[in-house]
Amino acid sequence: MAEENIDNVLSLEEYINQPELLPEATATLWFVLCRIKNALANGVLNAYPPERLNAFLMALPREHRFALLTGYVQLWGDIGVEEALFESLREVTGLPD
């Protein structure tokens, strides 16, 4: 973290409630996204309402959203994030609503 100058990292709750607070620095951003994937895998995100998680994911640029979804679709689905999953699928496939 020191080599990449990763500092001023907020809590996951702050980022999930206010995605606009996500860091702009590339290394810090990817560090936070990795923390979010770990929180999902460890069941920490189960405490959040699906509506909040859907809003968080949909507020992310596509690249960042897919970084969080890749390999974890089942876990996201298990905690009720179908809206973001389906919308993301529509975006990349061009399927109609």
Q: What is the pTM of this model?
A: 0.86
Residue (of 46, 44, 52, 51) closest to 19 by Cα position = 52
- Report the 10 Å Cβ neighbour count for 38: 12
Write out pLDDT tens, residues 82-93: 999 999 888 888
Query: What's the chain's average pLDDT?
Result: 89
Q: What is the pLDDT of residue 92?
A: 83
Residue (of 18, 78, 20) closest to 46 by Cα position = 78
| % residues pLDDT > 90 (the chain) | 69
Write out pLDDT tens, residues 2-18: 445 666 789 999 999 99
Contacts of 87 (CB under 8 A, 6+ apart): 58
Q: What is the pLDDT of residue 7?
A: 67
